[in-house]
Amino acid sequence: MGTVGDAANKDTNGSLAEKKPTVVFVLGGPGSGKGTQCANIVQHFGFTHLSAGDLLRAEQKSGSENGTMIQNMIKEGKIVPSEVTIKLLQKAMEESGNDKFLIDGFPRNEENRAAFETVTQIEPAFVLFFDCSEEEMERRLLSRNEGREDDNIETIRKRFKVFLESSLPVIQHYESRGKVRKIDAGRPIEEVFESVKAIFTPKNEKAE
């Protein structure tokens, strides 16, 4: 972990921040439809979709030293350090060759948010917040139950609680800076995407 590593980190941070990528944080409770809408945004607007959870899972499967450490932390119910997740996000951003990113399910809390800006020197363009009632999210999760063992009612309610307690401060922080684009996610997929499109379409194209 010596100074050589630190110097290398500075290099990658510099190059990524210098490219001035467009980063959009995508937040919403479990079942708010984030994944579906992210897929639509990728298709229509050429963004690269990065899910913090997927990157952590892929790293665990890779069998790397980092992966084993992540696995053990998750097993013990601990939260993976922000730096670890951020490094995975950075690496994925650099390897994608793109300059427009949807970062999904991150930052999960205020500490994540501060660390992301410090480590990457990148501030998000805005936060896309899928606002959906707890009843509706519950209904969706229970009806989709794709064999995910975490889709039972107790676990779902726990996940809502964690989302509210940890993510709301992040949303409030960006709200105070005028950077939150809130979407009513309780509507049908097509309607929600119309609202999403309006946010991502450059102003000059809207007049056409």
- Residue 64 falls inside a structural domain: yes
pLDDT tens for residues 169-189?
A: 999 999 999 999 999 999 999
pLDDT band for position 63 (50/70/90)? confident
177 is in an annotated binding site: no
- Residue 137 falls inside a structural domain: yes
36 is in an annotated binding site: yes
- Residue 5 falls inside a structural domain: no
Q: Tell me the percentage of the chain whose pLDDT exceeds 70.
A: 87
Mean pLDDT of the chain: 86
106 is in an annotated binding site: yes
31 is in an annotated binding site: yes
67 is in an annotated binding site: no
187 is in an annotated binding site: yes
- Residue 22 falls inside a structural domain: yes
157 is in an annotated binding site: no
- Residue 10 falls inside a structural domain: no
Q: Which residue in 126, 145, 122, 124 sits closest to 183, CA to CA? A: 126
- Residue 54 falls inside a structural domain: yes
- Listed range (1-10, 60-69, 145-154, 191-200) with the worst mean pLDDT: 1-10
- Residue 204 falls inside a structural domain: no
Q: Which residue in 169, 22, 194 sits closest to 102, CA to CA? A: 22
63 is in an annotated binding site: no
CB 85, CB 52: distance < 8 Å: yes
- Listed range (74-83, 93-102, 126-135, 139-148) with the worst mean pLDDT: 139-148
* Position 128 pLDDT exceeds 80: yes
CA dihedral 86, 90, 93, 96 (to 10 degrees): -120
113 is in an annotated binding site: no
Q: Which domain holds residue 131?
A: 17-197
* Position 1 pLDDT exceeds 70: no
pLDDT tens for residues 20-52?
A: 899 999 999 888 999 899 999 999 999 999 999
pLDDT tens for residues 151-170?
A: 577 878 888 888 888 888 99
Q: How many domains does the chain have?
A: 1
pLDDT band for position 146 (50/70/90)? low
61 is in an annotated binding site: no
21 is in an annotated binding site: no
- Domain containing 83 — which CATH number? 3.40.50.300
- Residue 88 falls inside a structural domain: yes
Q: Give the rounded distance of the alpha carbon of 88 from its chain centre.
A: 12
